[in-house]
Amino acid sequence: MGCALSPYAGLSLWHAAAGGSWAPRPRLDGDTEADVAIVGAGFTGLWTAYYLAEADPTLRVVVLESEVAGFGASGRNGGWCSALFPASLGSLSRLAGRDAALAQHAAMRATVDEVVRVAADEGIDADVARGGTITLARTRPQWDRARAEVAAARTWGRGEDDLALWDAGTASRRLRATRVHGATYTPDCAVIHPAKLVRGLAEACERRGVTIHEGTRVTAIEPGRAVTAHGTVRARHVVRATEGFTALLPGSARAVAPVYSLMIATEPLPEAVWDRIGLRERETFTDHRHLVIYGQRTADGRLAFGGRGAPYHLGSRVRPEFDRVPRVHAALLDTLLDLFPVLRGTTVTHAWGGPLGIPRDWCASVGVDPATGLAWAGGYVGDGVGTSNLAGRTLRDLLLRRDTALTRLPWVGHRSRAWEPEPLRWLGINAGLRAMTLADGEERLTGRPSVIARAVAPLLG
């Protein structure tokens, strides 16, 4: 079944443009044994498999995927391989101290280089460009937050090479949006084509002897085994790498909240339009508003743009129909036109979305329970392209019982508390999303920092 005929090609722009076949690999057929069973063939599962197989080619590594590799957020995201980590340096410092927090930040910065390196070494053409990230300030409160962020970075010893403050003129020379007061800039981000990267990574795993079974939904993760309707994989270690789909596992509905992020993509834009927008180096971009937005210039000249705002669904439900919310996609287009009026009349060719995983304290984690052999990684809050690579390398070291700088990072072994039971979870998450939307509107109207955002911030990690 070729890509053009596959239902998977309709999941996103990235799936449609990845090329090749989305035909599922053979599903599990009966019971089998492995050294490591990995549940989920997204970036977390595949990076873990890749580094394990590289470190010890004799290991029997089996990856189980309910759909196809790259079906979830790994194939549908905004295409940012960044050094962003969802928990702040302050939060990490409170967990493990200042030096540990800075070590986590340094590891995330190095991860961007590592992903770019592996893609090149494995011959994965993922449309990579190392343009960094521009975060615009488009209101006075946003500009105040930008300056405060850079000032705080300096107290951590982070210099201009890590996070710079740009005035309006400098920012507008790189990205010509409306109402620019200035921007922050970090070089620590590479733009990628996520579906090409995840597909190429799956193939790289197979070249190293990893077995990937697709169309194989895991119904239970237990010490020593991963259970499916098609058979059981018995393994010394079982890794949960399910991120936004974790709630579908029995007993895990409160572990990670699946919150949807949606995207749109324009038709390829002529160079004359790009001359009026910028992004010559294919920088990723966002701004300092409260409700997250994100964008990139694709290799074929489209503008791919996304953001939060879609509702959380009662009971941590995850369904295909939640991937498309017309009012949210329309709001994304309105935001894009507000940023770049030159796009008026441009055709939006793709609209899609999917769930990402949010832990209760907004802190991603990775770990292995030595008593049970169960391992996990996730809770990336939308910053998973880079963080999942760090997770894969860290799980490699943990599973092989290596004591390394990675295994001593502060997120290792961290356990987020469970989300509240329903309907409190539904009320709280959706109230928070609504509050952030209102906070941005408040700041546009008043020109002052939002009272709403200040009130809600302690509840959002």
pLDDT in tens, 199-236: 999 999 999 999 999 999 999 999 999 999 999 999 99
pLDDT in tens, 157-198: 999 999 999 999 999 999 999 999 999 999 999 999 999 999
Looking at residue 233, its pLDDT comes to 98
Please tell me the pTM assigned to this model: 0.96
- Domains annotated for the chain, with CATH where assigned, are 24-129+194-256+361-419 (3.50.50.60), 133-186+258-358 (3.30.9.10)
Q: Would you give per-residue pLDDT tens digits along the chain (461 residues)? A: 333 458 899 999 999 999 888 999 999 999 999 999 999 999 999 999 999 999 999 999 999 999 999 999 999 999 999 999 999 999 999 999 999 999 999 999 999 999 999 999 999 999 999 999 999 999 999 999 999 999 999 999 999 999 999 999 999 999 999 999 999 999 999 999 999 999 999 999 999 999 999 999 999 999 999 999 999 999 999 999 999 999 999 999 999 999 999 999 999 999 999 999 999 999 999 999 999 999 999 999 999 999 999 999 999 999 999 999 999 999 999 999 999 999 999 999 999 999 999 999 999 999 999 999 999 999 999 999 999 999 999 999 999 999 999 999 999 999 999 999 999 999 999 999 999 999 999 999 999 999 988 887 765 55
Looking at residue 318, its pLDDT comes to 97
Three-state SS annotation for the chain: CCHHHCHHHHCCHHHHHCCCCCCCCCCCCCCEEEEEEEECCCHHHHHHHHHHHHHCCCCCEEEECCCCCCCCHHHHCCCEEECCCCCCHHHHHHHHCHHHHHHHHHHHHHHHHHHHHHHHHCCCCCCCECCCEEEEECCHHHHHHHHHHHHHHHHCCCCCCCCEEEEHHHHHHHECCCCCCEEEEECCEEECCHHHHHHHHHHHHHHCCCEEECCCCEEEEECCEEEECCEEEEEEEEEECCHHHHHHCCCCCCCCEEEEEEEEEECCCCHHHHHHHECCCCCEEEECCCCCEEEEECCCCCEEEEECCCCCCHHHCCCHHHHCCHHHHHHHHHHHHHHCHHHCCCCEEEEEEEEEEECCCCCCEEEECCCCCEEEEECCCCCHHHHHHHHHHHHHHHHCCCCCCHHHCCCECCCCCCCCCCCHHHHHHHHHHHHHHHHHHHHHHHCCCCHHHHHHHHHHC
